[in-house]
Chain A
Amino acid sequence: SYVLTQPPSVSVAPGQTATITCGGNNIGSKSVHWYQQKPGQAPVLVISYDSDRPSGIPERFSGSNSGNTATLTISRVEAGDEADYYCQVWDSGTDHLFWLFGGGTKLTVL
């Protein structure tokens, strides 16, 4: 079965750039979506279809996807960006169809 691999944690100082990766076999051939989840809250979609930013999401959030790695980049990181981030793809086959989430990455703002 398909597996998405994320680093458990990423730390960055305020004002710097955070890079969160999501690895998967030929993930560049799939559409990747990213969610932000703060403690006690429901997830929020921050990047869809590799690099599209939903309405209301700051331009500081961007995404890319190629080869075996998709990347979420947060520029000029702020304290309010501290959260768990999950990548997600849609996987399908002849006998199955489902969403798949990565294990999540905890972003710590130092």
Chain B
Amino acid sequence: EVLLVESGGGLVQPGGSLRLSCAASGFTVGTNYMNWVRQAPGKGLEWVSVIYRGGSTYYAASVEGRFTVSRDISKNTLFLQMNRLRPEDTAVYYCARDLPASDWGQGTLVTVST
């Protein structure tokens, strides 16, 4: 059974940093496309980032240069390093497997506020 479990969310001040984790089981993160998708409160889905099987990474324009996606195959875990956070980054962050996304985690809430 495929399982994705996000963690690392919380309250952070504008300009701060946070690192999200997505622990995977039932498959290997290194053999799948892995994505981060976010959803601001009461809003729609917004794609954030993808890491390809080969390691290539791509980002939405809204986070380019501030967020970095990575993975640790030995831990079977996906990461999202978020720097220079802004209030508009407040959202539930989901990790999702493959293209299209066949499996999703339950999400972790990031709140950027003073």
Contact = CB atoms under 8 A, between A and B. Distances in A.
B45 interface: yes
Interface residues of A, number: 23
Interface residues of B, number: 21
Given A97-B58, A99-B35, A45 B46 contact: no
Contacts of A88: 45, 100
Contact of A98 (B58, B94, B102, B106): B58
A42 B94 contact: yes
Given A42-B106, A42-B107, A98 B100 contact: no
A98 to B, nearest CB: 6
Interface of A: 33, 35, 37, 42-45, 48-49, 54, 84, 86, 88, 90, 96-104
Interface of B: 35, 37, 44-47, 50, 58-61, 94, 96, 99-102, 104-107
